[in-house]
Amino acid sequence: MEDPVCREQSYSCGSLTNISYPFWGLNRPHSCGGGDLFNLKCNGDDNTTSILIDSQSFTVKEINTTAHIMRLVRTDLAHDVCSPQVNDTYLNPSIFQLGSGSYNITIFYKCSTSVDTSFGYFRCGIFRDGVEDELQKKSLWPKGCSRHVQVPVDVPLLNYVGDHGLDFLKQALASGFTVIINFGRSIGKSL
């Protein structure tokens, strides 16, 4: 039987309200959640919620516990695309699955070659849709770049090349990406 405290106490912070299992945090106790992986932190400065997954910080834009989905934004890249704190975005695939509209883009930093017109570019790098293996197979991997980062986005790639690259990248990173939570494998409790 469900603990009465858990039934009565939901997580609410800013635009996220009435969030229940498997999430916990703020005034919703750890015992009401699905473990450390689902600990939500309310940032009092701006009433946003963050979650730490595999040592990566994400801002949580929305959570739908009924549909088992949430929208995440990589906090480091949303604040400053030129200074990523970690490399590729990693979410344990046995617990989290990218939504059907999500796909990876790869951001390359400090590239020594001239910008290929098939890439979007911005003041500190270039980017392209696709993951590392796909780009290498298609010979679209830029030469002479000192670092690259992969991040999922949901914003469709329309015309991101040329001077509009930074605008697109900011929009895509701020919008975030959808994640489906696989409750069955991630946690032992049922909803």
Instruction: Tell me, yes or no, whether 42 and 108 share the same domain.
Output: no
Dihedral, CA of residue 144, residue 145, residue 146 and residue 150, to nearest 10: -150
State the total domains in the chain. Answer: 2
Instruction: Tell me, yes or no, whether 160 and 118 share the same domain.
Output: yes
Instruction: Tell me, yes or no, whether 76 and 93 share the same domain.
Output: yes
pLDDT of residue 191 exceeding 50: no
Instruction: Tell me, yes or no, whether 131 and 48 share the same domain.
Output: no
What are 130-189's pLDDT values in tens digits? 666 666 656 666 777 888 898 999 876 655 555 556 778 888 899 999 999 986 544 444
Give me the domain span that covers residue 62.
4-97+176-186
Question: How many whole angstroms separate alpha carbon 36 and alpha carbon 28?
Answer: 13
Q: Does 51 map to a domain? A: yes
pLDDT at 113: 64
Which amino acid type is present at position 1?
Answer: M
Burial 108-124 (b: 16+ CB within 10 A, else e): bbebeeebeeebbbbee
What are 107-117's pLDDT values in tens digits? 888 887 665 65
> Which residues, other chains included, contact 82 with Cβ-Cβ below 8 Å and sequence gap of 6+?
109, 123, 124, 125
Q: Does 191 map to a domain? A: no
Least confident of 69-78, 90-99, 127-136: 127-136
Q: Does 71 map to a domain? A: yes
Instruction: Tell me, yes or no, whether 93 and 8 share the same domain.
Output: yes
Beta strands 48-53 and 120-122 are unpaired
**Considering only CA atoms, which of 13, 41, 39, 9 is closest in space to residue 27?**
9
pLDDT at 141: 66
pLDDT at 30: 92
